[in-house]
Amino acid sequence: MGLPRKDRIRAKLKSENTTVRVLLAHPMHTGRAKDEADTLIPAEFIQDIRCWRNDEEVLTIKCGTATARNPYFSFQLVGGKQGDMITIRWVDNRGAKGTTETVVK
């Protein structure tokens, strides 16, 4: 159950729609768990995920602490073509940021 080292994203054209799958590398600590030394692990979780297709913002996801570790999302984008650029940006509650992008295949 180790963390993957980096965010992963796949986008594939399937029967006229684009299927996007995203796996973000993030521990998603709720702020309620304790470590081996019995001290609370401070909350650290992704709050905001946005998805762009080329220059158009298509999806916003707001997460709470109940989103699983290494957040995974899969969704469809209507239409699209090979070569479209899909970009994901995320921000967590401490202000850490990440960007990952891929080209539709």
Partner 1 sequence: MTDDIMQQRRAILKGAISASTLALVAASGLLLPRQLLAHWPKNAFNAETVEDALLALLGEADIADDAALNFKVGSPPSYAINGASVPIQIQSDLNNIERIAVLVENNPFPLAMSLELTPAVSLPIKSMIKIREDSPVIAIIRAEGKLYKTSRFVEVDIGGCG
Residues in touch with partner 1 (CB under 8 A): 17, 30, 32-33, 47-48, 53, 56-69, 71-79
Amino acid identity of residue 95, one-letter, is: G
Instruction: State which residue, 5 or 60, has the beta carbon closest to partner 1.
Output: 60
C-alpha–C-alpha distance, residues 56 and 53, integer Å:
5
Minimum distance, C-beta of residue 37 to partner 1, in the bound complex (Å): 15
Give the CA angle between residues 36, 37, 41 to the nearest 5°.
80
Instruction: State which residue, 5 or 32, has the beta carbon closest to partner 1.
Output: 32
Instruction: State which residue, 42 or 64, has the beta carbon closest to partner 1.
Output: 64
What's the half-sphere exposure (Cβ side, CA atoms, 13 Å) at 101? Answer: 12
> Are 70 and 25 a contacting pair, CB within 8 Å?
yes
Minimum distance, C-beta of residue 60 to partner 1, in the bound complex (Å): 4
Minimum distance, C-beta of residue 52 to partner 1, in the bound complex (Å): 10
Minimum distance, C-beta of residue 32 to partner 1, in the bound complex (Å): 6
> Are 1 and 68 a contacting pair, CB within 8 Å?
no
Instruction: State which residue, 47 or 87, has the beta carbon closest to partner 1.
Output: 47
C-alpha–C-alpha distance, residues 54 and 77, integer Å:
12
